[in-house]
């Protein structure tokens, strides 16, 4: 596998016929050549989205050739092109399905922990229902702002993205206050039950566990049924501009546009 990846890199740098003699008759290469990365031809290669992250797919063994991509784009519509685009969308959907399962499991773990805390704090079902409704409204507003910020970021409008994220953080702070009233907070360090409490949420795009109201901190939870291990990584760029989040956001965007 490693030798194939090295060969593909050399082909990109030196051409596919790098070992041919000057007198050899070289066969013309087209976009339909099997050595081309079909996903790169259609739009982008998913292997490039998550480099050096937990979702890293590894290097792509196929060739990414801009000339072949232009040739593909200029080619007339055909069953071959339709087949490649369908395969690209299926691959994107599989990755979105995988992260969807991750988000579901993460939410279940977080809810289980929060329910335990609410019961210990003596929160009644009526109190929880009222606050949950307010929290749900705020969450819907936050999700809309996140989508708008992602779109602005993808379009290169950094100022607009930052403004939307600022409003988003204000709403998250308000939501954190409501969750604090319900006891839906957990200590950053589980061994210190009386340490600073932080409300948590699960990112709807990439499934990461986040501290609400603190865009520079991301918490990773390693557990089976309960939250047992916390790792806070401070001084990072805003989570929404992180590689994994932006990668899954791009998958969602391209899938919704092309499907």
pLDDT, one tens digit per residue, over 186-217 is: 444 444 444 445 667 788 899 888 776 554 44
Q: What is the dihedral of CA 246, 249, 253, 254, to 10 degrees?
A: 60
Give the least confident one: 48-62, 118-132, 240-254. 118-132
pLDDT of 9: 58
Mean pLDDT of 153-167: 87
Q: Computed over its alpha carbons, how large is the radius of gyration of the chain?
A: 23
pLDDT of 134: 87
pTM of the model: 0.60
Tell which residue, 189, 171, 167, has the closest CA to residue 179.
171
pLDDT, one tens digit per residue, over 23-82 is: 555 567 789 998 899 999 999 999 999 988 888 999 998 989 999 999 999 999 889 999
| pLDDT for residue 99 is more than 50 | yes
Residue 183 confidence class, pLDDT cut points 50, 70, 90: low
pLDDT of 242: 83
Mean pLDDT of 102-122: 80
Higher pLDDT, 156 or 6: 156
Alpha carbon separation from 236 to 143, 145, 173, 215 (Å, rounded) = 21, 21, 19, 8
């Amino acid at each position: 596998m490693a030798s194939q990846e090295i060969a593909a890199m050399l082909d990109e740098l030196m051409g596919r016929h790098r070992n041919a003699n000057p007198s050899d008759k070289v066969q013309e290469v087209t976009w339909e050549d099997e050595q081309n990365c079909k996903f790169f031809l259609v739009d982008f290669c998913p292997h490039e989205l998550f480099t050096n992250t937990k979702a890293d797919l590894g290097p792509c063994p196929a060739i990414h050739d801009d000339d072949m991509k232009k040739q593909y784009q200029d080619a007339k519509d055909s069953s071959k092109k339709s087949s490649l685009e369908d395969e690209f969308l299926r691959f994107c959907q599989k990755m979105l399905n995988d992260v969807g399962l991750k988000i579901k499991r993460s939410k279940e773990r977080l809810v289980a922990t929060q329910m335990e805390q609410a019961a210990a704090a003596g929160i009644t079902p009526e109190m929880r229902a009222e606050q949950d409704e307010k929290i749900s409204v705020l969450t819907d507003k936050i999700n809309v702002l996140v989508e708008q910020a992602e779109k602005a970021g993808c379009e290169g409008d950094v100022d607009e993205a930052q403004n939307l994220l600022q409003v988003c953080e204000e709403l998250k702070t308000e939501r954190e206050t409501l969750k604090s009233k319900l006891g839906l907070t957990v200590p950053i360090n589980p061994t210190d039950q009386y340490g600073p409490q932080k409300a948590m949420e699960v990112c709807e795009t990439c499934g990461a566990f986040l501290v609400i109201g603190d865009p520079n901190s991301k918490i990773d939870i390693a557990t089976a049924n309960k939250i047992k291990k916390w790792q806070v990584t401070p001084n990072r760029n805003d989570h929404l501009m992180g590689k994994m989040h932006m990668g899954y956001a791009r998958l969602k965007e391209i899938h919704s546009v092309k499907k």
